[in-house]
Amino acid sequence: MTTRTEPAFTRLFDLSGKVALVTGARTGLGKALAEALASAGADIVGLGSRPMPETAGAVTALGRRFREIVCDLEKPHDFPALAADIVAQAHGIDILVNNAGIIRRQDMLDYTEEDWDAVMTVNLKSLFLLSQAVARHMVATGRQGRIINIASLLSFQGGIRVPAYTAAKHGVAGLTKLMANELAPRGITVNAIAPGYMETDNTAALRADPERTRQLMERIPAGRWGAPQDLATAVLFFAAPASGYVTGTVLPVDGGWMAR
């Protein structure tokens, strides 16, 4: 039976007419996040250090516009100018997904300053500066904006052999709450998704190690690696009008890992 409430309910998850800027959209989680947002009606701006033809093809196949920004987030940037350029090309930014990230593994005793700086710059500093520039645009144009950060289980736990990554991802969780506090009065929500162990390039080294794989699978109640598409419903919820009163949260999508 069709009820009168269905159309309004559907609109709560409709992103038609919205523009989503997704960093790190070439591969893995970022590509899946861009596809999920496009499937709900958003046009996509993909930002990464390399061209992303596969993401462009997937988004346009869904009938949405795709624009590409090639930009190495490890290098210094004029983030306000970068945001202004994207706004001019895409006619605004409604949703920002801070997904780009790198991981460098080494024992804490041997960790180099170079690896520390690279990880902190891509995973934390650029996330803040891009969010600041985009939030200024959202405030100036009165948008009910959405900022969605990709955190990690290492936003909650220490991990091993990834000191810069752990520090950066704890920082992402903290910044999510700070930005949520300051932007809520402007109608902008800021939330984070903390993926579990997902099948992407980021975990290639772990997945190539049978002993580490066995240890991880024993601890994941769902008993499997996550697929990038497992994040689709979470990003759509945080991006959609439906979640307007949800802000400052860090949501694990981890097959139950944090509950164990």
176: contact with ligand NAP by CB under 6 A:
no
26: contact with ligand NAP by CB under 6 A:
yes
Number of H helices, E strands in the chain: 10, 7
Q: According to CB under 6 A, which residues from 110 to 129 bind ligand NAP? A: 122
Q: According to CB under 6 A, which residues from 137 to 156 bind ligand NAP? A: 150, 152
DSSP H helices in the chain: 6-11, 28-39, 53-61, 79-90, 113-120, 126-140, 163-183, 204-207, 210-219, 232-239
**Residue number, 24 or 255, with CB nearest to ligand NAP:** 24
What's the min distance (Å) between Cβ of 3 and ligand NAP?
A: 38
Structural tokens at position 132: 């600041």
Residue 85, classed as helix, strand or coil, is helix
Residues with Cβ within 8 Å of 57's Cβ and at least 6 positions away in sequence, in order, are: none
202: contact with ligand NAP by CB under 6 A:
yes
Q: Which stretch binds ligand NAP (CB under 6 A): 7-15, 66-74, 83-91, 236-244?
A: 66-74
Q: According to CB under 6 A, which residues from 221 to 260 bind ligand NAP? A: none
Strand duo 43-48 + 19-23: pairing: parallel
34: contact with ligand NAP by CB under 6 A:
no
Among 20, 22, 29, 147, binds ligand NAP (CB under 6 A): 29
In the DSSP assignment, the letter for residue 155 is G
Give residue 195's Cα distance to chain centre. 10
Give residue 152's Cα distance to chain centre. 10
3-state secondary structure 215-232: HHHHHCCCCCCECHHHHH
Q: Is 111 a catalytic residue?
A: no
195: contact with ligand NAP by CB under 6 A:
yes
Q: Which stretch binds ligand NAP (CB under 6 A): 46-54, 82-90, 177-185, 243-251?
A: 46-54
Residue 92, classed as helix, strand or coil, is coil
**Residue number, 89 or 157, with CB nearest to ligand NAP:** 157
Among 7, 9, 16, 50, binds ligand NAP (CB under 6 A): 50
CA atoms within 13 A on the CB side of 169: 26
What's the min distance (Å) between Cβ of 257 and ligand NAP?
A: 10
Residues belonging to the active site: 165
Applying CB under 6 A, which residues contact ligand NAP?
24, 26-30, 48-50, 72-74, 99-102, 122, 150, 152, 195, 197-198, 200-203
